Chain A
């Protein structure tokens, strides 16, 4: 990890309040694991003061580019959405522990589950898994049709199921409803599960798959200060039996084995 300055190639709206920013520079040549994030200084000066953690949604090391897909939520992401081609972005990263994929074997089946702005890191994950010959199925959920993104790109790597809470696109309901429909409660249709999305979705997945003996990983979000493990702002309690009493989302995660962390 280190600080870097990357040049904005493009920054475009891809869904309601959701932008994809493409950044370019030699900095991208380093090893970047799917699920890792960048800590982004969204603007110069002291307001906003802190960096913003944003997941890496794709990497192209031949073009030295990386993409981040983010939703405008507050002043920082608003400023970031106004960056134009040629601007430079100050970032720190790649940070955190990403999705473990080293052990994946050709022919295995991976189930990727994403909700809202939790979907972006799944794209780079799907690409890396597909390159290993893993069969990828993505289940992605959004609030309504105008919030849907990455459906097509994820489709390059396997089946994609889309659901919206209001039913305006794809299936009607939550991703967990779709999982019931698609896989049933007693499912054997996958070997490993990777999920990223809002806390209630991750909680539901944890409840549901706690008892399975399959590998399952959740990518968590939490308000962060430093992004490197020093400030202790972004903690989650560790599950019983762990060698920790708490985990730092930024440096012990953001990806955790599904049974290791208490989502409260």
Chain B
């Protein structure tokens, strides 16, 4: 079950996805967070963010639209309260960082990468729910690469770049950030979507549009990871609708080296530990000695 990516050793390849697990406190009420391979914590910005107006979620068949808007308590609070609280768990922390300008991102990266229990950074250039920053950094290969370079200059820890599926050619962006020094990729973030209330004839989300997650987007994630993993030499943390051990295997076959579980945590707070147990059983049953032998097996001969 052990995997190693960008120098990080994980006891298993399962982690909760950023934005779907807060800073761990809520789910620590249900199980020991040391069960997890890693934890990708909520996106952090320099200043506290209030996020978008409500309603912030809407449901779709097999999916969920959200427009939270990167609400978070801000870098100082995260450094003083959230990350120290997580020290009690021997579990690698991946700090997701976001910003409005390059300077914002750099400021967060510089300080948060110095925190002892932060094992890696995840550069959020793909949030679809904020008017500045977020996805605007992730849809242009030059801008994405420039930001990656700046973050690499200040980060003491490996940098994963979280890619958006809302682009014409994800491979170009992936190669650009790899060339800029990214240590790994996280893919995919949510797909931009929308729902309209039939009665009011208005969008359900106050932000009008939101990011689609959940099982509905899994085929898109599998396709993109399949495409990208054949073109880059850095590891990919796969995500997008994972709900079961079988889903995890499919992501590995497509080329992922670890996976993050997002929306499934909302449906079942025990989603991550359940998937970890089922995955172990699946590997035993199928006679797979190490899950790493499945990475990219879907396209390798």
Contacts and interface: CB of A to CB of B under 8 A. Distances in A.
Nearest to A222: B54
Interface in A162-216: none
Contacts of B149: none
B51 A228 contact: no
Contact of A51 (B51, B58, B267): B267
B57 A49 contact: no
Nearest to B204: A223
Contacts of B263: 49
Interface in A220-247: 222-237, 245-246
Interface residues of A, number: 31
B215 A234 contact: no
Contacts of B48: 245
Interface string B9-47: 000000000011110011101100000000000000000
Interface string B61-91: 1111010100100000000000000000000
Interface stretch (A10-18, A40-48, A113-121): A40-48
Interface residues of B, number: 37
B270 A3 contact: yes
Contact of B54 (A46, A229, A230, A234): A234
B66 A233 contact: yes
Contacts of B119: none
A2 B57 CA distance: 23
A92 interface: yes
Contacts of A233: 54-57, 66, 68
A115 B259 CA distance: 45
A223 B58 contact: yes
A79 interface: no
Nearest to B215: A46
Nearest to B53: A264
Indicate the member of B26, B55, B215, B243 with the most A CB atoms within 10 Å.
B26
A1 interface: yes
A50 B71 contact: no
Given A49-B263, A223-B55, 19 more contacts: A1-B29, A46-B62, A49-B214, A50-B266, A223-B54, A223-B56, A223-B57, A223-B58, A225-B66, A226-B26, A229-B22, A230-B20, A230-B26, A231-B57, A231-B68, A232-B56, A233-B57, A233-B68, A251-B26
Which 8 residue pairs are nearest across A and B when measured between Cβ atoms?
A226-B266, A230-B22, A230-B26, A233-B57, A46-B62, A233-B56, A223-B55, A47-B61
25 contacts: A1-B29, A3-B268, A49-B59, A50-B57, A50-B267, A51-B267, A92-B269, A223-B54, A223-B55, A223-B57, A225-B64, A225-B66, A226-B26, A226-B265, A227-B266, A228-B269, A230-B21, A231-B19, A231-B266, A232-B22, A232-B68, A233-B56, A233-B66, A237-B50, A245-B48
